[in-house]
Amino acid sequence: MLEIALDARVSPETLRKIETGRVATPAFPTIAAIADVLGLSLDTVWAEINHPKRGVEPTTADPTSRERLAS
């Protein structure tokens, strides 16, 4: 973890807080830097955090989610 944090130019404590959820909304440049160090595209990161959880119905608050599931 120390090497990843240093390569991404973030403090190890910041990375630890992101990993444990103590930083609810990390800054975009921080996520971009960490993704780059880990060899992940931002598209991959976005898809991972936005995919519906298995067994959970989309809410009516997001009308497009049902359309995406249907296609």
Average confidence (pLDDT) over 5-18: 96
Res. 65 pLDDT band, cuts 50 70 90:
very low
> Measured between alpha carbons, how far is 59 from 71 in angstroms, rounded to an integer?
17
Q: In which element (H, E) is residue 32 found?
A: helix 28-38
The residue whose two tokens read 């120390």 is 2
pTM for the model stands at 0.66
Average confidence (pLDDT) over 30-44: 95
Q: What is the CATH number of domain 2-70?
A: 1.10.260.40
Res. 51 pLDDT band, cuts 50 70 90:
confident
Closest CA to 37 of 5, 11, 2: 5
Average confidence (pLDDT) over 43-59: 76
Q: Which residues of 29-58 are buried (b: 16+ CB within 10 A; e: fewer)?
A: ebbebbbebeeeeeeeeeeeeeeeeeeeee
11 within 8 A of 2, measured Cβ to Cβ:
no
